[in-house]
């Protein structure tokens, strides 16, 4: 069955659409094989603040250059979005944007009365006011828990406004309580974009490749140049127009499949843009495969071979040199699915022994349904198993427990807040924000150098560890990390 259905206002949540889960403890190999037979999610009897879909949906629309975003809810449901306004300004030079404009972010500021009487009219008025004030090319409306429960008909309100104003007005259904998998927010944002922004192609452009990504540095202009193509970055820093004609691209690639899964599938199924389905290019072997797949789709397999050969000639010796220095070191990884799996491949190339990973959730397969997109399976196949894979749902208490237990030489993290716990334990910890940093052969070199630097400059974490404040009880740190996962320790030992 097709995963993408643009006739429906709401995207189906990941738990139902992909069978994604948020709790698991075992090895990488066990997770991959269990995932092929269908995973059953496990609840926790203790949990900490997690994050929800609305923030993820927001980050895929707030950075569209000429759009405005309305959060339909109480004022708190959009209170972290100023961070994306900062990102937009600070990273603008990476995308050759000289004058980043102020981000247009609004809240309908619902109060108690609105939850009793409904807030549809308030939203309708807000859309018109925002149109007047900001004159955007499109307006996105993010839904919130309160609105989801009281049952405002957001779809009708946005459709009516769209007809009246003559610009796309897209509802994004991303209430926090709907899904336990917060990346559902990406899908919700993309669903709205695919329904309301992307237009049927007028032509097929062999010189344009869609890159689904966040806001990292541009490595792709150089990568695509030999293929005679340019990146079309979506969705951050895109314009409403450039998004609309993403449908004309020759292919779609993604920085991370858990990010772009839904949009890549929608572009492929609905607009005929082929997706590079092989997992993202992390590690030497996967980078080989990825360039070959790209060459195949573009009809330029020779170019791909030339690129691979030239790059390998340049970077393999550097990787070998780094490997000598890092060989035998141990690491722990914490990151979102997809990206975390990729980092495990990068570590393997550097000769680092991964002691485990706390990965936020797990998608058995992505929207394209292809096993070749599964970066964890690819990691296991290329480099072997990884112990202590904890699908942790961003639960800090489990991470702290695992770190204290595995005591790696360093920790790699993506997503804020996690390095603190490495540092408190005196473990050198590195967070790389740029999602493109580790890609390709050169990415292995870049990571290797940063890891060496992190291990070398450990004075700060060693000092912090001496004075660290730790709210976790001794009892907890002495338990197995999964005692609060449904079934507890016994279930896991039995399996």
Site string for other proteins, 342-361 (x = CB under 8 A): --------------------
Q: Which stretch binds other proteins (CB under 8 A): 81-89, 203-211, 256-264, 428-436?
A: 81-89
Binding to other proteins by CB under 8 A, coded x per residue (else -) over 449-478, reads --------------------x-xxx-xx--
Please tell me whether residue 114 binds other proteins under the rule CB under 8 A: yes
Asked if residue 48 binds other proteins (CB under 8 A), the reply is: yes
151 near other proteins, rule: CB under 8 A:
no
Instruction: Please tell me whether residue 135 binds other proteins under the rule CB under 8 A.
Output: no
- Interacting residue with other proteins among 20, 25, 53, 378 (CB under 8 A): 53
Bridge partners (DSSP) of residue 138 are 67
- Helix (H) or strand (E) run with residue 412 in it: strand 410-413
Measured CA to CA, the distance from residue 311 to residue 300 in angstroms comes to: 17
Residue 274 CB, nearest approach to other proteins (Å)? 35
Residue-wise DSSP of 301-355: HHHHHHHHHHHHHHHHHHHHHHHHHHTT-EEEEEE-TTHHHHHHHHHHHTT-EEE
Confirm if 96 and 127 have CB atoms less than 8 A apart: no
Coil, helix or strand for 253? strand
- CB burial class (10 A; 0-12, 13-18, 19+) of residue 132? exposed
Residue 431: helix, strand or coil by DSSP?
strand
405 contributes a contact to other proteins by CB under 8 A: no
How many Å apart are CA 398 and CA 23, to the nearest integer? Answer: 11
Can you tell me the distance from the alpha carbon of 303 to that of 185, in angstroms, rounded to the nearest whole number? 37
Region binding other proteins by CB under 8 A among candidate stretches 74-82, 229-237, 255-263, 436-444: 74-82
Interaction pattern, residues 171-190, with other proteins; x per rule: CB under 8 A: ----xxxxxx-x--------
Among 2, 36, 40, 86, binds other proteins (CB under 8 A): 86
What is the spatial distance between Cα 94 and Cα 71, in angstroms, rounded to a whole number?
A: 28
Q: Please list the residues that pair with 332 across neighbouring strands.
A: 356, 411
Work out whether 40 is an interface residue with other proteins (CB under 8 A): no
| Of 124-132, 341-349, 354-362, 426-434: span binding other proteins (CB under 8 A) | 124-132
**Which residue, 206 or 479, is less far from other proteins as judged by CB?**
479
- Please identify, among the stretches 77-85, 277-285, 369-377, 402-410, the one whose residues bind other proteins according to the rule CB under 8 A: 77-85
Q: Does 98 bind other proteins (CB under 8 A)?
A: no
Asked whether position 165 contacts other proteins by CB under 8 A, the answer is no
CA–CA distance from 328 to each of 27, 107, 148, 350, 473 (Å)? 20, 51, 51, 9, 32
Nearer Cβ to other proteins (52/376): 52
| Beta bridge mates, 69 | 105, 140
Q: What's the rounded Cα separation, in Å, for the pair 92 and 97?
A: 5
Residues that bind other proteins (CB under 8 A): 45-55, 70, 73-83, 85-86, 89, 102, 104-115, 122, 126, 129-130, 133, 144-146, 149-150, 175-180, 182, 394, 396-397, 417-418, 469, 471-473, 475-476, 484
């Amino acid at each position: 069955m097709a995963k993408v259905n643009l006739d429906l206002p709401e995207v189906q949540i990941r738990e139902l659409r992909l069978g994604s889960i948020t709790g698991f403890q075992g090895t990488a190999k066990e997770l991959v094989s269990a995932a092929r037979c269908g995973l059953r999610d496990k609840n926790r009897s203790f949990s900490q603040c997690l994050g929800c879909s609305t923030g993820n949906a927001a980050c895929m629309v707030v950075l569209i250059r000429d759009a405005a975003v309305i959060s339909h809810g109480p004022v708190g449901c959009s209170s972290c979005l100023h961070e994306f306004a900062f990102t937009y300004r600070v990273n603008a030079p990476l995308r050759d944007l000289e004058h980043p404009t102020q981000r247009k972010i609004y809240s309908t500021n619902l109060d108690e009365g609105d939850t009793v009487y409904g807030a549809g009219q308030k939203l309708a008025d807000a859309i018109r006011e925002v149109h007047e004030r900001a004159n955007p090319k499109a307006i996105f409306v993010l839904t919130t828990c309160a609105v989801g429960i009281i049952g405002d008909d957001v779809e009708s309100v946005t459709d009516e406004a769209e007809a009246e104003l003559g610009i796309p007005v897209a509802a994004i259904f991303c209430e926090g309580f709907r899904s336990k998998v917060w990346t559902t927010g990406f899908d919700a944002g993309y669903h709205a974009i695919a329904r309301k922004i992307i237009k049927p192609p007028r032509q097929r452009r062999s010189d344009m490749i869609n890159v689904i990504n966040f806001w990292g540095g541009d490595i792709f202009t150089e990568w695509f140049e030999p293929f005679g193509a340019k990146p079309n970055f979506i969705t951050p820093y895109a314009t409403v127009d450039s998004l609309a004609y993403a449908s004309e691209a020759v292919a779609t690639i993604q920085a991370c499949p858990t990010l772009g899964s839904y949009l890549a599938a929608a572009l492929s199924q609905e607009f005929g843009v082929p997706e590079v389905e092989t997992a993202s290019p992390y590690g030497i072997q996967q980078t080989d495969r990825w360039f070959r797949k790209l060459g195949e789709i573009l009809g330029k397999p020779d170019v791909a071979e030339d690129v691979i050969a030239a790059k390998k000639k340049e970077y393999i010796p550097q990787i070998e040199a780094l490997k000598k220095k890092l060989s035998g070191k141990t690491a722990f990884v914490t990151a979102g699915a997809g990206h975390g799996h990729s980092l495990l491949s990068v570590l393997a190339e550097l000769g680092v022994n991964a002691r485990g990973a706390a990965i936020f959730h797990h998608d058995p397969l992505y929207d394209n349904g292809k096993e070749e997109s599964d970066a964890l399976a690819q990691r296991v196949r290329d480099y072997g198993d990884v112990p202590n894979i904890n699908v942790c749902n961003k639960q800090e208490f489990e991470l702290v427990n695992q770190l204290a237990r595995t005591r790696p030489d360093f920790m790699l993290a993506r997503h804020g807040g996690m390095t603190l716990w490495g540092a408190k334990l005196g473990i050198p910890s590195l967070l790389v924000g740029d999602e493109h940093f580790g890609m390709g052969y050169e990415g292995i070199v870049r990571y290797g150098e940063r890891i060496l630097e992190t291990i070398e400059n450990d004075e700060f974490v060693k000092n912090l560890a001496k004075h660290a404040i730790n709210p976790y009880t001794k009892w907890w740190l002495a338990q197995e990390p999964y005692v609060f996962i449904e079934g507890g320790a016994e279930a896991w030992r039995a399996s």
